[in-house]
Amino acid sequence: MQDEHKNTETEEQSFLGGLDVGIFKYDVRVFLISLRRRLPFLLLIPVAVIAMTITYIYSMPKLWQATCILFKTAPEPEKENELSTLRQQFSVDVIKEMIRTKDNMRAVITNLKLSESLQSLYGATSVSVDEHNRSMINISAITPDPQDSADIANELGKVFLQAYEKMRNRSVQKKYDYFSRQKILVMNEIKNLEAEKKAYLNKHGISAIALEHSKHFTELSRLEEKITQTEQREYALKIRIRECLEKMQKLEPEVKLSYEVTAVDDTALVMKNNELDILRQRYTDINPKVQKLIAEIKALKKKMELDKKEKRPAGKITYGKNWHLIHLEDEVFAAQTELKSLSFTLIKYAREKKELEEQLGHLDKTANEYKEINRKIELNYDLLRKLDKGVTEMSLALTSSVSDLRVFEKAEPPVYPTVDKRRKILVMGIMLGLVLAGVCAVLLEAIDLTIKSEFDVEHVLHVNVLGSLPRINEVKLKKFYSAIQIVFTRIFKNDLKEHHKKVLIAFGDVEGGAGKTFFIKKCIDIFGPMEKKTLYISSCNELASGLLQYKINDFIYNDQAIDPGLARENNDHLYFLLDNYSYIVPLDMVQIEKFISYLDDYDFIFWELFNFKRNEPLFATICSAAHTTVIMTKFKKSRKMTLVNCIKYLKEHHVKNIGVVINSVEKRYFGKNI
């Protein structure tokens, strides 16, 4: 039997503070079996938590919830220029956050004369928007008294509506105040200009009728007004051209119209999965071809997962004109064209103005001053008409008090207490109980650092698994002896085929009570019909006086030749005594090999060793001289850490062909993988 795990593999194990991290590897199948075995105990945890949760729920005081519903009317698009647009519109989400302001909450406490604090009122109220109809806003209050919950919800809605209407009319009020003040100022200005005009005419003794009805004077006033309007339009076009040019600098001439992303990996994955299905019809999963293809599929899936996290490049991209840029260019061209037209118009107006001024040049200074006063009066009258219109509109807006919010349904005292919070607590209690049960299951399995499966031997001890033996009193004898034969074949297969002589097999354990004596006798029973002669050497702490003649200590330590017939006198059974001399004087592997060389009559020599912890150097020396070392472990009794230290110690002393047998496996755990 060859050791599949060499000494170099022990260097791959990770150590943290002297503790081998590898001992925390677990077989999933064993974990599920253990979980099923502990299920009645684990179920007590969620049951207890749920019982305590239900007790707590029933001990809670009953809470009553009342809801006041507000309805928000949507603005009509066809009324954009009407009076209602003077008020600012707010979204439902904004209104939801505006309801429970500190001022509103304090007003509710004051109006209802509540004794609770502002924070407690926050906790007792909530505002939500109906999922199916976002025009409905629910103002809810939860209190120990049903009437209080209804009063708080209604009062909060009332206080909010008052503050909301006042806030929405605030901008209208500001506009009304501004227009009123400006109207008074303009009227005073007109009054002063009229007085100045009258005084000016009286001073110079001129009749205003001829000047006011002068055709050239009227045309000049109109021309100046046109010049002003044209210049304003010219200025506005220049600003628009500058804005369009700034936007055009930020835009690309061409944009992506469409693109395609390739998906080659998906096709490759489907083909490899089909190929795997075909191979699995012919081979098992341990076949090298199947394992290689499985590894390729895993690597391809991992690559596809990495590709999903990154932005995959497009396989094909179609570019086209940026129509937004073209639209801006057209708008700039139109504005520049209009700007040129305005420039020519201004030149024309300037020429006409010059001609009118030349025609009016014969008027003296008095007429010019009168014209300036009269122009100011006209401008102020135009401004007064606009202000008067604004005052009228703002006054109507203030007196109308139109609101887009109203009370759709007042809150009423509830008939039944609320159960939402209790349900949440119950669900949280159930989840907590299940989580605690899961944590306990994992912890119980984590702290159980014993050998429970062949997985532990392969991935924790890193040695060969020779097999598992069930408890003889839990299974049928046929199944038990079948397991014995499996282990026997794995130990002696090569030696039986090649007919080796004097093959030393060392049987040991780390903590005792692993059943190595029982197993050795079963192996000897199997050798009986095979005409193989076996010698059984037992290690013992003391020996009866009648058996001292079969002690082999003197033959080993003193290099004495042993009588070949000595063992046959005691049914081929000899003894190695662990006396003080065996502890004081170290045993040499050469001495063991020389002793074995005298036993020519035997094909196999079974040496039942002592506990590893009792004498580690002697244990390792005998194992190093043995052809095969069999470490017996007991199911859920032998500790992983002790076995790891034992295997590591043996490999450091160049012990080869180490195998492990798991004995006394419970029936529920015993199977082809245990």
Residue 631 pLDDT: 92
What average pLDDT does this structure show over 252-267? 61
Q: Looking at per-residue confidence, does 26 or 645 come out higher?
A: 645
Nearest CA to 646 among 674, 617, 612? 612
Q: For residue range 628-641, what is the model confidence (pLDDT) as tens digits?
A: 999 999 988 888 88
Q: For residue range 203-250, what is the model confidence (pLDDT) as tens digits?
A: 766 555 555 545 566 777 788 888 888 888 888 888 888 888 887 787
- The chain-wide mean pLDDT, for the chain, equals 80
Residue 674 pLDDT: 45
Structure tokens at 142: 């939860």
Residue 576 pLDDT: 93
Q: Lowest-confidence range among 140-154, 377-391, 436-450, 622-636?
A: 436-450
Residue 130 pLDDT: 84
Residue 501 pLDDT: 82
Instruction: Please state, in angstroms and rounded to a whole number, the distance separating the CA atoms of residues 219 and 204.
Output: 25
Residue 404 pLDDT: 73
What average pLDDT does this structure show over 60-70? 84
154: confidence class by pLDDT, cuts 50, 70, 90:
very high
The helix or strand, by DSSP H or E, that contains position 498, with its residue range, turns out to be helix 477-498
Strand partners, 71: 136, 406
Residue 177 pLDDT: 83
CA distances from 63 to 120, 128, 157, 416, 419 (A): 14, 19, 21, 9, 8
5: confidence class by pLDDT, cuts 50, 70, 90:
very low
Residue 84 pLDDT: 46
Residue 151 pLDDT: 92
Instruction: Please state, in angstroms and rounded to a whole number, the distance separating the CA atoms of residues 466 and 457.
Output: 10
The answer to whether the 64-169+401-416 and 500-658 domains have the same CATH topology is no
Residue 367 pLDDT: 65
6: confidence class by pLDDT, cuts 50, 70, 90:
very low
* Core vs surface per residue 29-63: b (16+ CB within 10 A) or e: ebbebbbeeeeeebeebbeebbeebeeeeeeeeeb
163: confidence class by pLDDT, cuts 50, 70, 90:
confident
Range 500-658: architecture per CATH: 3-Layer(aba) Sandwich (3.40)
Tokens 């939402």 correspond to what residue? 420
Q: For residue range 547-583, what is the model confidence (pLDDT) as tens digits?
A: 888 899 888 888 888 887 888 888 889 999 998 888 8
Q: For residue range 306-316, what is the model confidence (pLDDT) as tens digits?
A: 776 665 555 55
Q: For residue range 504-553, what is the model confidence (pLDDT) as tens digits?
A: 999 999 988 888 898 888 888 888 777 788 999 999 988 888 888 889 98
Instruction: Please state, in angstroms and rounded to a whole number, the distance separating the CA atoms of residues 20 and 641.
Output: 8
User: Domain boundaries in the chain?
Assistant: 22-60+422-447, 64-169+401-416, 174-256+324-399, 262-312, 500-658
Residue 152 pLDDT: 92
Residue 72 pLDDT: 83
CA distances from 89 to 72, 176, 311, 465, 671 (A): 11, 19, 41, 79, 74
Q: For residue range 31-46, what is the model confidence (pLDDT) as tens digits?
A: 777 777 777 878 888 8
Cβ(241)–Cβ(339) below 8 Å: yes
% the chain with pLDDT above 90: 11
% the chain with pLDDT above 70: 83
3: confidence class by pLDDT, cuts 50, 70, 90:
very low
pLDDT over 80 at 363, yes or no = no
DSSP result, 426-493: HHHHHHHHHHHHHHHHHHHHHH--B--SHHHIIIII-SEEEEEEE-TTTS-HHHHHHHHHHHHHHHHH
Residue 317 pLDDT: 62
Q: Looking at per-residue confidence, does 79 or 128 come out higher?
A: 128
pLDDT over 50 at 98, yes or no = yes
Phi/psi for 135 (5° steps) reads: -85, -10
Q: Specify which of 80-84, 143-147, 252-256 reaches the highest per-range mean pLDDT.
A: 143-147
449: confidence class by pLDDT, cuts 50, 70, 90:
confident
Nearest CA to 495 among 661, 657, 622, 631? 657
pLDDT over 70 at 665, yes or no = yes
8: confidence class by pLDDT, cuts 50, 70, 90:
very low
Instruction: Please state, in angstroms and rounded to a whole number, the distance separating the CA atoms of residues 303 and 233.
Output: 63
Q: List the Cα angle 512/33/10 in 5-degree steps.
A: 50
Q: For residue range 602-630, what is the model confidence (pLDDT) as tens digits?
A: 889 999 999 888 899 999 999 999 999 99
Structure tokens at 199: 């005084």
Instruction: Please state, in angstroms and rounded to a whole number, the distance separating the CA atoms of residues 169 and 148.
Output: 32
Q: For residue range 395-440, what is the model confidence (pLDDT) as tens digits?
A: 776 666 566 788 888 988 888 877 667 778 888 988 998 888 888 8
Instruction: Please state, in angstroms and rounded to a whole number, the distance separating the CA atoms of residues 96 and 90.
Output: 10
Residue 20 pLDDT: 56
Q: Lowest-confidence range among 20-29, 67-76, 206-215, 282-291?
A: 206-215
pLDDT over 50 at 16, yes or no = no
Q: Looking at per-residue confidence, does 645 or 286 come out higher?
A: 645
10: confidence class by pLDDT, cuts 50, 70, 90:
very low
pLDDT over 60 at 23, yes or no = yes
Residue 620 pLDDT: 92
Range 64-169+401-416: architecture per CATH: 2-Layer Sandwich (3.30)
Residue 660 pLDDT: 92
What average pLDDT does this structure show over 376-398? 83
